[in-house]
Structure 1
Amino acid sequence: MAQRILVVDDDRTVSDVICRYLEHAGYAVGHVGDGGAALDAVRRDLPDLVVLDLMLPTLSGLEVCRALRTEPAGVPIVMLTARGDEADRVLGLELGADDYLTKPFSPRELVLRVGSVLRRAGAGPVPAASQELRDGGLEVLTGPRLARLDGAELTLTLREFDLLAHLMRHPARAFTRAELLEQVWGWTFGDQSTVTVHVRRLREKIEKDPAEPRRIVTVWGVGYRYERADG
């Protein structure tokens, strides 16, 4: 069965191009043109991924993203933003979007990004190797994509989970933001503030005091390093 993509964009010309490229790539594609209809469609049809424009009537893309992240389905989200909307883009990532593209963009790149997010979401083939990463009360199981802190399950986005697992696999190693962008996101280019936003969100979820992080520490002039809490 084809994976289902919901395209949410009120620009009919743009959405027609997006839908055509996604359908050509083998996806089953639906389309709505406003935020309220997007929430209804997600709840009714449970798509595998949402391509979400930020500028929408009824409810903005940011409001849709916020609402979807309060629901248990956890549908992956690829945002579409205008070139100058950096603040909205960062806020969208903070709200839990999994990836973004800046308009104007290549439809081929969008198809590649959609495929990448779906693979990370487990909609593609499941890797044979599964890891159990443990550090004190923090536990990450890569097979079922499950993370717990002191026994309580953590609510992580796809990228947050992948970033945490990557850092835990390489304790005491300093990574630049560019390295993390390539090794976790698979991007050889892009806005490195994406990494900063995801590190901040992870700290809020796994650190006792996010302002004084003990696990994901900043290496000034370089980037970030994971320090094991259990020594």
Structure 2
Amino acid sequence: MNDNQAHILVVDDDKRLRELLHRYLSDQNLRVTTAADAEEARSKLSGLEFDLIVLDVMMPGESGYDLARWLRQQERQIPILMLTAMEEVESRITGLESGADDYLSKPFEPRELILRINAILRRSSQVQAAGSADKVFFGGFSFDLARSELRRGEAYIHLTAVETCLLKALAESPGVPVSRDRLADASPEIGNQRSIDVQMTRLRRKIEPDQKTPRYLQTVRGTGYVLMPD
């Protein structure tokens, strides 16, 4: 076994698809473990370390959304690629709010799956490297932690004091959900949790190309927010 291989957990109740994905991903130089449902996935997660989870939404018992939420509540930051037979925008939003990093609609081309997996793994390694960096980069923006400055290219983006506190709290732990309580502690001016949501909406206006489906300042349902760098 190659120690440099990324370890993928595939969770899907469709036995045929599990076996197909196991063979295909193994052929792509990935180490693959499979689980038929959320219960079996939890068992595998308790004893093994994974670099990414490929997670089906519609499963008997607990759904993929449920398992993703549980993982985030446990503060497990394993990247999740969610598989869904539903193409509606609402299902995508639900998946992202549950803690998924990306989603892919069934049926899908195996080549697209491996491209998505590689992109997430690459982004995950950048997130880990960014944790000790002086700057965090996302969507053409850079946030200087030492100066508390946001720039797009060379252009300076004005932030209010509250917006700066929020963004700095998120940028200090890129890719890691930050609770509303912790965000509230970041600045006395923020106030209650409702104020945080209002301030986050204002901050998104300056950063997100589409505020309805935020790419960088994502909501983590039941927790708070997370900054996802490129």
Q: Please give the TM-score of this superposition, normalised by the length of structure 1.
A: 0.62
1:80-159 matched pairs, under 5 angstroms:
80-84=83-87, 86-122=89-125, 126=129, 130-131=134-135, 132-133=144-145, 134=148, 135-136=164-165, 138-139=167-168, 145=174, 149=183, 150-151=185-186
CA distance in 2, matches of 1:85, 1:38: 26
Indicate if the aligned counterparts of 1:21 and 1:111 stay in contact, CA closer than 8 A.
no
Task: Go from structure 1 to structure 2 and tell me whether the alpha carbon gap of 1:28 and 1:94 turns closer, same or farther (over 3 Å shift).
Answer: same
SS in 2 for 1:111: helix
Indicate if the aligned counterparts of 1:76 and 1:117 stay in contact, CA closer than 8 A.
yes
1:181-220 matched pairs, under 5 angstroms:
194-195=213-214, 199=217, 201=219, 205=224
Indicate if the aligned counterparts of 2:66 and 2:98 stay in contact, CA closer than 8 A.
no
Matched, 1:58 2:61: yes
Of the three residues 57, 73, 79, the one matched with 1:70 is 73
Deviations 1:45-81 (A, max 9, x none): 1211100001112321111111111112211110000
CA distance in 2, matches of 1:115, 1:37: 25
SS in 1 for 2:83: strand
Residue segments in structure 2 that go unaligned for 5+ positions in a row: 136-143, 149-163, 188-199, 226-230
Indicate if the aligned counterparts of 1:22 and 1:111 stay in contact, CA closer than 8 A.
yes
Identity %, equivalent residues: 36
Of the three residues 31, 34, 41, the one matched with 2:37 is 34
Partner of 1:176: 209
Indicate if the aligned counterparts of 1:48 and 1:123 stay in contact, CA closer than 8 A.
no
CA RMSD of aligned residues (A): 3.7
Task: Go from structure 1 to structure 2 and tell me whether the alpha carbon gap of 1:172 and 1:68 turns closer, same or farther (over 3 Å shift).
Answer: closer
Indicate if the aligned counterparts of 1:77 and 1:98 stay in contact, CA closer than 8 A.
yes
Partner of 2:51: 48
Partner of 2:21: 18
Task: Go from structure 1 to structure 2 and tell me whether the alpha carbon gap of 1:129 and 1:11 turns closer, same or farther (over 3 Å shift).
Answer: same
Instruction: Say which is worse superposed, 64-73 or 132-141, in terms of deviation.
Output: 132-141
Shift of 1:100: 0.3
Indicate if the aligned counterparts of 1:21 and 1:108 stay in contact, CA closer than 8 A.
no
Shift of 1:30: 0.4
Of the three residues 79, 82, 93, the one matched with 1:79 is 82
Indicate if the aligned counterparts of 2:57 and 2:63 stay in contact, CA closer than 8 A.
yes
Shift of 1:101: 0.1
Task: Give, as a single letter, the amino acid of the residue that structure 2 aligns with 1:176.
Answer: P
CA distance in 2, matches of 1:23, 1:6: 12
Shift of 1:175: 5.5
Indicate if the aligned counterparts of 1:130 and 1:142 stay in contact, CA closer than 8 A.
no
Q: Please give the TM-score of this superposition, normalised by the length of structure 2.
A: 0.62
Indicate if the aligned counterparts of 1:6 and 1:50 stay in contact, CA closer than 8 A.
yes
CA distance in 2, matches of 1:31, 1:125: 25
